[in-house]
Amino acid sequence: VKFKDGIARIATDETLSAFNSKAELVYEHAFNGFAGSLTKEELKTLRDHPDVDFIEKDAIMRISSITEQNGAPWGLGRISHSNKGSTTYRYDDSAGEGTCVYIIDTGVEASHPEFGGRATFLKSFINGQNGDGNGHGTHCAGTIGSKSYGVAKKAKLFAVKVLDDQGSGSYSGVIGGMDYVAKDSKSRNCPKGHIASMSLGGGYSAAVNQGAAALVSSGVFLAVAAGNDNRDAQNTSPASEPSACTVGATASDDTRSTFSNYGRVVDIFAPGTGVLSTWIKGRTNT
């Protein structure tokens, strides 16, 4: 039970005295309130009390366990260590479980053994194409959540195809994909959150940026590529949308990848050169 800030101590003491037998812990310094077991009637009385800010049910916390993957690709080793050169990936054993990631791309080969049944092909905005005939989307999905090459090895992966098997797609189709994800995420049980990944881009488009902003406003964390043209990303979309997390690429020596876009709209850089991941037909590729 949390009392409102600014409530005089004498007032909280009076409230506590009425429930003295129920107060198992009384907090006075870091938190103004108490913990205890309450009947339904007492709970209602306290919720209606003018001095009470809120009441929250007690729950269990547990220690966090760290898992190590030895012989990991350089990118995984890099993101989990302060210094470059490690081949060990250290990560929390929750490994993204309970998180849903939408890959808005060329599709994903959901049957790839590296996904362990966690990948689903949801929707295609390309007529006559309902799989990944390119490989790019499968590679991105593997970097996100495959068993050997992924950051979040227990996350659920959902493919939304907006690029054809040659790697191209219309702005309208990309907006359609974002709109679909905004809707689908509302009905999908993902207690640890919804994420969308878009490793694609084109020239600046107010419409694409607005679609990206709307997706973020719907509650989906959106990560987008800065682009691979070695130019300022402020002139591209969706990389220039401020509410998206725009990611540039680095090489194993911690320098910017020669192809990576750059500029003030880039929020973060991450491994992007020579990254080993999943590929179509059950293979791997860099």
Task: Note the pLDDT tens digit of each residue in 14-37.
Answer: 777 776 557 788 888 888 888 988
Burial 252-281 (b: 16+ CB within 10 A, else e): beeebbeebbbbebbeebebbbebbbbbbe
**What is the C-alpha to C-alpha distance for residues 106 and 225, in angstroms, rounded to an integer?**
14
pLDDT at 151: 98
Phi, psi of 39 (to 5 degrees): -75, 170
Query: Does position 13 have pLDDT exceeding 80, yes or no?
Result: no
Express each pLDDT in 174-217 by its tens digit. Answer: 999 999 999 999 999 999 999 999 999 999 999 999 999 999 99
Phi, psi of 5 (to 5 degrees): -65, 140
The 3-state secondary structure of 237-272, one letter per residue: ECCCCCCCEEEEEECCCCCECCCCCECCCCCEEEEC
**What is the C-alpha to C-alpha distance for residues 196 and 282, in angstroms, rounded to an integer?**
23
Query: Does position 273 have pLDDT exceeding 60, yes or no?
Result: yes
For the segment 220-236, the average pLDDT, to the nearest whole number, is 98
Strand partners, 202: 237
**What is the C-alpha to C-alpha distance for residues 129 and 280, in angstroms, rounded to an integer?**
15
The secondary structure element, H or E, covering residue 104 is strand 100-105
**What is the C-alpha to C-alpha distance for residues 250 and 284, in angstroms, rounded to an integer?**
20
pLDDT at 21: 57
| Domains recognised in the chain with CATH numbers | 2-54 (no CATH), 66-285 (3.40.50.200)
Q: Which of 57-61, 158-162, 254-258 has the lowest mean pLDDT?
A: 57-61
The fraction of the chain above a pLDDT of 70, given in percent, is: 99
Evaluate whether 204 touches 229 at the Cβ level (below 8 Å).
Answer: no
3-state SS class at 13: helix
Token pair of 97 as six digits: 């479980």
